Structures are given as C-alpha cells and as structure tokens.
Amino acid sequence: MKAVGLKRYLPIDHAESLLDIELPEPQPGPHDLLVEIKAIAVNPVDTKVRAPKEKIETVPRVLGWDAAGVVKQVGAEVTLFKTGDAVFYAGDITRPGSNAALQLVDERIVGAKPGSLSFEQAAALPLTSITAWEALFDRLRVPTPPHAVPRKSILIIGGAGGVGSIAVQLAAKVAGLKVIATASRPESIKWVEELGAHHVINHFGDMHEQLKTLGLVHADYVLILNDTDRHFDAAANIVAPQGAICTIVENAKPLKVEALKSKSASFHQEFMFTRSMFQTPDMIAQHHLLCEIARLIDSRVIKTTYAQSFSPLNASNLRRAHAMLEGGHTLGKIVLHGF
C-alpha cells in the first residue's frame, strides 16, 4: 500500500524528511478496524514527533493522528462498526499513523463520521475535539449540561489554535461558560469571536489587568494551550479560589504549583493519547465522545475548523503542510486527501 513515512528525523526542508513509500497491507487484530483513508489532517504532534534527532528507523515510521475514511475490514471481536461504515478518529500514537492508504485502529477510539461533512472536513476534527473535550469535561470537570448560576467563566490561552478553536465552541455553546480567549492578530481575534468567544484579550500583554478591564477579577477555569512555562504564573494569579487550571503543553522548567495552595485550586494535564497508550478500562469513552462531536456538528451547534486542503496525499504535500504548521501562523486545520 502507498504511505508517507520517515527513516531519519530531519528538518522539514530536507528532501528526505518525509518519503513516499510502499508498505504491506496490515491485518486487523480482534478489536481493530482496517480503514481506507480518505483524508488526514496535520497537527503540532506530527511536527514534534518528526523533529530532528539522531535516531534512525530500521522500518519506515508512518506519522499522522487525524483521519477520516471507510471501514474496509473488521477484527473478530468488533461490535461497533461494520464494513462500509464512514468513520473519523485520531488514533494511537504507539501504532503506525494515518499517513497511509490503509490504517489499523482500535474501534473503541473511533467515531461515526458526521454525516453533514465531507471526509476532508471531518478529518480536521478528531484530535483537537478529543483534546478539548477531555480538557474541559474530564480534567477541569466543567459541568455539562450547564447548571451554574451565575454563569462561570473560562480563560482559554491560545484560543485561535487547533485545540482552542474547538475548546472555544464547546465552552461557549455546550457548557454555557463565559469564554475569554486570547489572540494577538486581527485575523485570529476575528476567528475566535466568530467561534463564540465573548471577550478576547492578548496573551502577550498583562492578562490579569486585561481581565480587570472586562470587570473580571478571576476566571473559574484556565485552559493553557501554548507555552505552559510562560503562562503558568499568570494562570495561577487569574484562576478563582477553588478553580482549576489545565494545560496540554509540557513544561520545561518546574512550575510554582505552591501558588495554588491558598486558593485550593487544582492543576491538571491533558494528553489525548493516554487512554489508547495505556489501554485504560474506559478507552471506549473516546468512541462516545467522537459520536457526540458528530451529533453536535450535524445539529450545527459547533462547526469544523477545516481551512484548506492539498491533494494528493504524498510526501511533497505533507512536507508543505508541516512547514506551514511550523511557521506558527495558520488558522484552522490543513487537510490532505487522495493518494
């Protein structure tokens, strides 16, 4: 089968950073779906995994953690899907990725594709939707459906990014929170406002002072979606007593978590591959989550963050997409389709 993979971890402008390759067709295990890939999306995790290092792969490594496609074959114990079903998913970082004509994925982390979306539009959703949902409802424990009176607030640092673009929608339109998102460029400010943010502030300025100008002393929840080292102190200052902070980004330096003690505030980390990586007993939660995202999409409560697509899905176009993502100024998701 056709695929795009790597043997060496090289800068994206190197011609061999990603290669067009041929691989054997994989065979499904008991809980696996064999999916014919129709479209994939590119995420920061792809560029982080591909980042230059000395390691050399003896077997080409296939990246990619966002896909939409059609079930071609099912494993012996599969009960959730059948051959011919249209699906979408982010997959498992410990297994070969979606930059291939065919991919194996455990049915318990797969959702039924939104019927109102094309494969390209659906491929833009899984990873960011799972991350945003788990951060809000599993880690921060935001109530859903909303019941808090008066309405609680959330500060989303990095609201215009991939996860932020979904988190803003879920927080405002599903959880009923007052959403303060951060953005710094005119186009990104407009983007998060269109997605449902009630207020927009600049994360390059003093965020606490900017909140005060909005009449807010604290935010009940703070979601950090970029540069935890830089933003943690501000988040600790902004979070309300008995509030909660969640980050999806690794910290390089120790964080001053003692700053949260007097507030009895909690700190959480979200990694959407945890369930599949550790085969947790609640792995199927991601199946239910993605099916709920599909329902919200089809009922027009939230919308896809698909922005543009390239075709065909080959090494040249994938290198182009990686380079754009590493440039740091994309709005919405970049999708590739069609081998």
Three-class HEC string of the chain: CEEEEEEEECCCCCCCCCEEEECCCCCCCCCEEEEEEEEEECCHHHHHHHCCEEEEEEEEECCCCCEEEEEEEECCCCCCCCCCCEEEECCCCCCCCCCECEEEEEHHHEEECCCCCCHHHHHCCHHHHHHHHHHHHHHCCCCCCCCCCCCCEEEEECCCCHHHHHHHHHHHHHCCCEEEEECCCHHHHHHHHHHCCCEEECCCCCHHHHHHHCCCCCEEEEEECCCHHHHHHHHHHHEEEEEEEEECCCCCCCCCHHHHCCCCCEEEECCCCHHHHCCCCCCCHHHHHHHHHHHHHHCCCCCCCEEEEECCCCHHHHHHHHHHHHHCCCCCEEEEECC
Report the phi/psi class of residue 193: left, alpha or beta, with left for phi > 0 and alpha for psi in -120 to 50: alpha
**Cα(271)–Cα(289) distance, integer angstroms:** 15
pLDDT tens, position by position, 112-122: 999 999 999 99
Does residue 149 register a pLDDT over 80?
Answer: no
Per-residue pLDDT, 227: 94
The percentage of residues in the chain with a pLDDT greater than 90, rounded to a whole number, is 95
- The answer to whether the beta carbons of residues 170 and 164 sit under 8 Å apart is no
Q: What is the mean pLDDT of residues 129-158?
A: 90
pLDDT-based confidence at residue 103 (cuts at 50, 70, 90):
very high
Per-residue pLDDT, 199: 97
Per-residue pLDDT, 274: 98
Does residue 146 register a pLDDT over 80?
Answer: no
pLDDT-based confidence at residue 148 (cuts at 50, 70, 90):
low
Determine the residue type at 21. I
| Neighbour tally for 174: CB within 10 Å | 20
**Cα(86)–Cα(68) distance, integer angstroms:** 7
How many residues make up the chain in this entry? 339
Q: What is the mean pLDDT of residues 226-255?
A: 97
Per-residue pLDDT, 195: 97
| Neighbour tally for 264: CB within 10 Å | 9
Does residue 247 register a pLDDT over 80?
Answer: yes
Does residue 144 register a pLDDT over 80?
Answer: no
Q: What is the mean pLDDT of residues 224-237?
A: 97
Which positions ≥6 away from 287 have C-beta within 8 Å? 80, 107, 108, 109, 110, 111
**Burial letters 88-99, b for 16+ CB under 10 A, else e:** bbbbbbeebbbb
Which of 31-35, 92-96, 146-150, 283-287 has the weakest average pLDDT? 146-150
Per-residue pLDDT, 328: 82
- The answer to whether the beta carbons of residues 83 and 40 sit under 8 Å apart is no
Per-residue pLDDT, 150: 74
Per-residue pLDDT, 147: 66
pTM of the model as a whole = 0.96
Per-residue pLDDT, 329: 78
Q: What is the mean pLDDT of residues 276-296?
A: 98
**Cα(300)–Cα(123) distance, integer angstroms:** 17
In the chain the domains, ranked by start, together with CATH numbers, are 2-125+274-337 (3.90.180.10), 129-269 (3.40.50.720)
Per-residue pLDDT, 1: 96
Which of 109-123, 254-268, 325-339 has the weakest average pLDDT? 325-339
